[in-house]
Amino acid sequence: MRSAFAEKVGREFMDLAMAMGRTALMVKSVAFWSFRSRFEAGEAARQAVKIGVDSFTVTALTSFFTGMVLALQMGQSTKNLFNEPIYVGTMVAFSMLKELGPVLTSIVVAGRAGAVVTAEIGTMQVTEQIDALYTLGTNPTRYLLVPRYLAFMLTLPLLTVFADFIGVIGGCIVGVVKLHVPTSVYFDDIFTYLSISDFMHGFLKTYFFAFMIATVSCYKGLNTRGGAEGVGKSTTEAVVISMVLVMVLDYFISAFLVAVGV
């Protein structure tokens, strides 16, 4: 009984170690093909639209309402403590720029675009389209992975900038309409206390998140087995792993950036 359990745990660790090894090889291959062949500009642009532009509406809605609820909660809390809603703009901007903007945008992109990428590559894998690429003289890493990595790395930071801005505007609307904070005060609070390094703190994190989401989505897609059911399983796994890793990475990258003074 005990040995069966140990065997199961051991096998899980072995599988994890092998998956990490294969992921490292895939990333190495992406790095290799990024500089060794003609660039698939058209495919990268198509992916940027699919990943970035198509995720914009969901990102905008998410960050808008997040900004609104932040302003409402902050304003109400400070009103209870000090009889007046103070530093609403500062609180909303700090939260959006440093944490919620990058994290929520990454979660939206992982759930939406990450799932699309895994399902697309997974379907190509189970229908032999990946093998067909080899037979037609094209390395799948070069044709499929490099443009997707690039699209994630380009669009996620941009989406985050939009999300930050929309969140701050959402907070402003609640601040002005519900909490009666003048617009000038709201923005003055932001520009007085926020520095460019606060923005950079959140912005830099998105590159790590984009790289991680691209890696998980592509890896899960390429390792899909077992027809339509396998595609569904890979897609779910990719989304769950990406979302959890966004949270985990967020802490460690934040700790690192704080340590280096960003």
Partner 1 sequence: MIEIRGLTKVFGEHRVLDGISVDIREGELFSVIGPSGMGKSTFIRCLMRLLKPDAGSVKVDGQEMASVTSEFTLAKIRRSFGYLFQEGALFDSLTVFENVSFGLKYLTDIPKSEYPRIVREKLALVGLKDVEELKPAELSVGMKKRVALARSIAVEPKYILYDEPTTGLDPVTTGMVKDLITDMRKKLGVTSVVVTHDMNLALEISSRVAMLNNGKFVEVCEPACFRRSDNPEVREFMRISHISKE
Using the rule CB under 8 A, which residue among 13, 134, 191, 252 binds partner 1? 134
Among 9, 20, 25, 132, interactor with partner 1 by CB under 8 A: 132
Select the residue interacting with partner 1 from 131, 188, 225, 226 (CB under 8 A). 131
> Is 135 near partner 1 (CB under 8 A)?
yes
Q: Which long-range contacts (CB under 8 A, 24 or more apart) does 104-107 make?
A: 104/59, 104/62, 104/63, 104/66, 104/163, 105/59, 105/62, 105/63, 105/156, 105/159, 105/160, 105/163, 105/206, 106/156, 106/160, 106/206, 106/209, 106/210, 106/213, 106/246, 107/243, 107/246
* Smaller CB separation from partner 1, 55 or 123: 123
Q: Is 139 in the site for partner 1 (CB under 8 A)?
A: yes
**197 binds partner 1, rule: CB under 8 A:** no
Whichever of 23 and 129 has its CB closer to partner 1, that residue is 129
Report the residue number, 137 or 261, with the smaller CB distance to partner 1. 137
Q: Which is nearer to partner 1, 180 or 225 (CB)?
A: 225
Tell me if 138 contacts partner 1 by CB under 8 A.
Answer: yes
Specify the stretch interacting with partner 1 by CB under 8 A; choose among 13-21, 131-139, 147-155, 197-205: 131-139
Q: Tell me the Cα Rg of the chain.
A: 22
Q: Is 1 in the site for partner 1 (CB under 8 A)?
A: no
- Please, what is the minimum distance in Å from the beta carbon of residue 117 to partner 1? 12
Interface segment toward partner 1; rule CB under 8 A; list 74-82, 117-125, 172-180, 223-231: 117-125
Closest CB 220 distance from partner 1, rounded Å: 19
Phi-psi region of 139 (alpha: psi -120 to 50; beta: other; left: phi over 0): beta
Q: Which is nearer to partner 1, 46 or 178 (CB)?
A: 46
CA atoms within 13 A on the CB side of 84: 5
Residue ranges of alpha helices (H) inside the chain are: 2-36, 41-51, 56-82, 88-95, 101-109, 115-126, 129-135, 140, 146-177, 183-193, 196-222, 227-259
* Contact by Cβ (8 Å): 189, 211: no
The residue ranges that bind partner 1 (CB under 8 A) are 120, 123-124, 127-129, 131-132, 134-139
